[in-house]
Chain A
Amino acid sequence: MMEAFKKLDSTAASLQVANIDTDQIIPARFLKTPRSTNHGEFLFHDIRRNASGELDPNFILNTPENRSTQILVADTNFGCGSSRESAVYALFDAGIRCVIAPSFGDIFYNNSIKNGLLPIALDRNTIEDIWQILNTANNTRIEVDLENQTIHLPNGQNFHFQIDPFRKQTLIEGLDDIDLTLKYRQLIEDHETSNAAARPWIATIS
């Protein structure tokens, strides 16, 4: 059972760099770590540190006001690259529950939904407006309402966002889709049977 996502009210941090790939979110050397380990300490491990390995005070999530933020407002193509789901574990374990960006890597997007982390795609002009608000006032809070597919800014601005109904449902209910899928077991078996008759060379690995 994953954590359900309905509403969120949190400060937000802007990460104004395009193409943040999953290697930057979590470097490869941490991928052998089991899920039971706190992955939060691996989040942005190398890019949040300077050459001597100290935390870089200028990196957005290293500032005191962003230590407990649950929302990241990022740039284009966030989470591109490798399919490593550990990238989502790292964000989640560090307390991030929502990433807002102009676009996402497809696999990262799917992985997020499967772990109770909501990815919201908005057009880049809107994202720029949000960055500006976040950068001019500390501790600005953003409200995210998944049921109504809206985000609210403190200046009264509201934005609607798209999410497909299936993913929305799994997030709101904290639903594990394996259970849902297994309800179709008979249809799955029927499909396999007819497929094996039509294309016997695929039915099993010879």
Chain B
Amino acid sequence: MPQTLFEKIWSRHVIVEREDGTCLLSIDRHLCHEGSFHAFDKLERENRVIRRPDLTIGIADHYVSTKAPELGNEEHELRVPIEKLTANTKKAGIQLYGIGTPEQGIVHVTGPEQGLTLPGIILVCGDSHTATHGALGCLAFGIGASEVAHVLATQTLWQEKPKTMRINIDGELATGVVAKDIILHLISVIGANGATGYMIEYAGSTVKNLSVEGRMTMCNMSIEAGGRAGMIAPDEKTFKYLKDRKHSPKNGNWDLAVTDWKTLFSDADAVFDKEINIKASNIAPSLTWGNSPEEALPVTGKIPDPKNESDVSRREALEFTLQYMGLNPGTSLKDIEVDRVFIGSCTNSRIEDLRAAAEIARGRMTQVPAIVVPGSAMIKKQAEDEGLAQIFIDAGFDWRATGCSMCVGMNGDLTPPGERCASTSNRNFKGRQGPGSRTHLMSPAMAAAAAIMGRITDIRELEPVDL
């Protein structure tokens, strides 16, 4: 019987299947971060043992200061969750990539980068952007604290089998259009709950042609469409990406693994519960204007007018959003001035993202405060070696240490109330980047251009500079 990629991976992991279809799944890899203290506390209260500490890795990212990562420099209240992670992992015998280690970074950047993420596995993490890892052809999804505790205590999870959705994206991308634009466009088409209850597989020639980094950007935002997981069949690019990573299979195991990974694709006649087709040529450089990731438009667009909304509750919601965002109906997106810029997060902080932003920054000057936060210590070093860091610094950007930073509003990096931030992160929720913050999501190049021009800018219209 033909199987989808998802079904192939799922079936390998079923330990028990109940009559109602709920399955007990084995979990191959578990990544935890500072927020996992709730789960460790629960296990402590219940006097439980951590069953397979060798399959979990701890990584400090959410509460890490990007200005002064060394613990001694931080406010006490932000140190506590970081110190708890250190203590909990130490006590349990879990390997930790803590502050100052060469492997440290944002959990969804570090996982793939260190070869913890592998095709065919099930990987979980107490963070909703865990779908990122699916870009390497595994089943990866975010879980809450109780499920983190369940994984630590049993190395398994009870899961209802989700429905499957394939999103086929085909054709050539236009100049200036990147993975972030694809996913923003997609969410605006299917809605913030368009994939709720589904496992997404991204397929088609456009996806095939994306780099592994670009695929991660796409899978990362699956949750913003409601999909708990997003995945892409592994291919030669995936294998090349994983070869010789710290935790990738070595020696004889590498060949065995690649042979196995080559069987991980959806069979030609596999059936999905839903299929969606998107034409790459319909996608423009895009950004969000509202407080849900589905509220995205091409950069050439205008702020929608509530008067055109016939449904009363939708009209009121739109008016409320525009009030919160400080925007007027009919305004061209390109006329919106920004107060600051954030380039970073598990969505867009990889080397390719920094190269794209640096390309725009080279030889120009920022007009508003702008920070660049590399996704890991390794990427930071690579960007410094490649000269990208110097380009940013010369252009007036603040070059920071790695961490979740201004995506998550809990580590000191905040957008002040009422300020407007052009951001490469994944959520434009009310207050996400700090109370009263106004977020516009976009690609790294678009964010860099916003920093240079002080307003939303179509990167295709940027005047060249003499270098």
Q: Complex Cα distance A27/B21, Å?
A: 35
Assess the A178–B150 pair: CB atoms within 8 A.
Answer: yes
Contact A28 B409 (CB under 8 A): yes
Q: Are B430 and A31 in contact (CB under 8 A)?
A: no
Instruction: Tell whether A46 pairs with B20 under 8 Å between CB atoms, given A23-B429, A105-B226.
Output: no
User: A107–B120 contact, CB under 8 A?
Assistant: no
Contacts of A199 in B (CB 8 A): 120, 256-257, 260
Choose, from A62-70, A92-100, A183-191, the stretch at the interface.
Answer: A183-191
Q: How far is the CB of A52 from chain B (nearest CB, A)?
A: 12
Segment among A4-12, A73-81, A136-144, A152-160 that sits at the interface with chain B: A73-81
User: B59 to chain A: which residues have CB within 8 Å?
Assistant: none
Known contacts A27-B409, A165-B20: A202-B118 contact under CB 8 Å: yes
Shortest CB-to-CB span from B155 to chain A, Å, is 7
Contact at A188–B116, with CB atoms within 8 Å?
no
Query: In the complex, are the beta carbons of A200 and B253 less than 8 A apart?
Result: yes
CB proximity of B256 to chain A, nearest CB, Å: 7
Determine the chain B residues whose CB is within 8 A of the CB of A204 once the complex forms: 54-55
User: Which residues of chain B come closer than 8 Å to A88, judged between CB atoms?
Assistant: 144
Chain B residues with Cβ below 8 Å from A16 are 313
With a cutoff of 8 Å between Cβ atoms, the chain A residues found around residue B28 in the complex are 202
A56 at interface (Cβ–Cβ under 8 A)? no
Mark each residue of chain A from 24 to 35: 1 if its CB lies under 8 Å from any CB of chain B, else 0: 100111011011
**A184 vs B155: C-alpha distance in the bound complex, in angstroms?**
12
Q: Which residues of B209-253 have CB atoms within 8 Å of chain A's CB atoms? A: 223, 226, 228, 247-250, 253
Is there a chain B Cβ closer than 8 Å to A148's Cβ?
Answer: no
Residues on B with C-beta less than 8 A from A103 are 193, 196, 226
- Check B160 against A164 for contact (C-beta < 8 Å): yes
Q: Which of B275-328 contact A (CB under 8 A)?
A: 291-292, 313, 317, 320
The interface residues of chain B lying within 8 Å CB-to-CB of A86 are 38
* Contact pick for A206, options B228, B249, B256, CB 8 Å: B249
C-alpha gap A93/B299 in the complex (Å): 43
Q: Are B197 and A106 in contact (CB under 8 A)?
A: yes
A-chain residues with CB within 8 Å of residue B274 when the two chains form the complex: none
Q: Is residue A110 within 8 Å, beta carbon to beta carbon, of the partner chain?
A: yes
Chain A interface: which of B11-19, B98-106, B167-175, B372-380? B11-19
Interchain CA distance A81-B193 in the complex, whole Å:
10
A80 and B156 contact, CB distance less than 8 A: no
Name the CB-closest residue of A to B430. A24
Given contacts A19-B192, A177-B158, A188-B154, contact A205 B228 (CB under 8 A): no
- Choose from A35, A46, A51 the contact partner of B41 (Cβ within 8 Å): A35
- Interface residues in B37-86 by Cβ distance below 8 A to A read 37-38, 41-42, 46, 48, 54-55, 57, 63, 77-78, 80-81
Q: Mark B144-162, 1 if CB is under 8 A from A, else 0.
A: 1111011001111010100
Q: Which residues of A contact B331 (CB under 8 A)?
A: none
The answer to whether A111 touches B146 (Cβ under 8 A) is yes
Separation of A2 and B403 alpha carbons in the complex (Å): 34
- Whether A205 contacts B250 by the Cβ 8 Å rule is no
Complex Cα spacing A192 to B27, Å: 10
CB-based contact B63/A29 at 8 Å: no
> What is the CA–CA distance of A184 and B429 in the complex, to the nearest angstrom?
41
Contact of B128 among A35, A82, A176 (CB under 8 A): A82
Tell me if B128 and A178 are in contact (CB < 8 A): no
- The complex places the Cα of A108 from the Cα of B192 at a distance, in Å, of 15
A206 CB to nearest B CB, Å: 5
Q: How far is the CA of A199 from the CA of B16 in the complex (A)?
A: 20
**Is B121 an interface residue, CB under 8 A from the partner?**
yes
A81 contact set on B, CB distance < 8 A = 128, 223, 427, 429
B42 neighbours in A (Cβ, 8 Å):
35
Verify B410–A28 contact, CB threshold 8 A. yes
Contact A205 B410 (CB under 8 A): no
B95 A114 Cβ-Cβ under 8 A: no
Q: Is the CB of A182 within 8 A of B154?
A: yes
A172 at the interface (CB under 8 A from B): no
**Bound Cα distance from A188 to B157, whole angstroms:** 11
Q: Who on chain A is nearest to B84 by CB?
A: A32
A23, A88, A165, most chain B CB atoms within 10 A: A23
Structural contact, B142 and A83, CB atoms closer than 8 A: yes
Docked-complex contact A111 and B144, CB < 8 angstroms: yes
Residue of B12, B126, B196 near A105 (CB, 8 A) is: B196
A85-B38, A106-B197 given as contacts; is B430 within 8 A of A23 (CB)? yes
Interface pair A178/B149, CB less than 8 Å apart: yes
Closest A residue, CB atoms, query B39: A85
Among B41, B143, B145, B249, which residue has the most Cβ atoms of chain A within 10 A?
A: B145
A114 neighbours in B (Cβ, 8 Å):
144, 146-147
The chain B residue sitting closest to A29, CB to CB, is B410
Q: What are the residues of chain A within 8 A of B355 when measuring CB–CB?
A: none
Inside 8 A of B226's CB, which chain A residues have their CB?
77, 80, 103, 105-106
Are the C-beta atoms of A164 and B22 separated by less than 8 Å?
A: yes
A83 touches B118 (CB 8 A): no
List residues of chain B with CB within 8 A of the CB of A32: 63, 77-78, 80-81, 410
- Kindly state whether residue A181 has any CB partner on chain B within 8 Å: yes
User: Can you sample 12 A-B contacts with CB below 8 Å?
Assistant: A23-B427, A28-B410, A46-B435, A75-B313, A77-B196, A81-B427, A86-B38, A178-B48, A184-B156, A199-B120, A202-B118, A202-B121
User: Top 6 nearest A-B pairs by Cβ distance?
Assistant: A201-B249, A114-B146, A111-B144, A85-B145, A85-B144, A28-B410
Interface residues of B (CB under 8 A from A): 12, 15-16, 18, 20-22, 24, 26, 28-29, 35, 37-38, 41-42, 46, 48, 54-55, 57, 63, 77-78, 80-81, 95, 116, 118, 120-121, 126-128, 142-147, 149-150, 153-156, 158, 160, 192-193, 196-197, 223, 226, 228, 247-250, 253-254, 256-257, 260, 291-292, 313, 317, 320, 408-410, 427, 429-432, 435-436
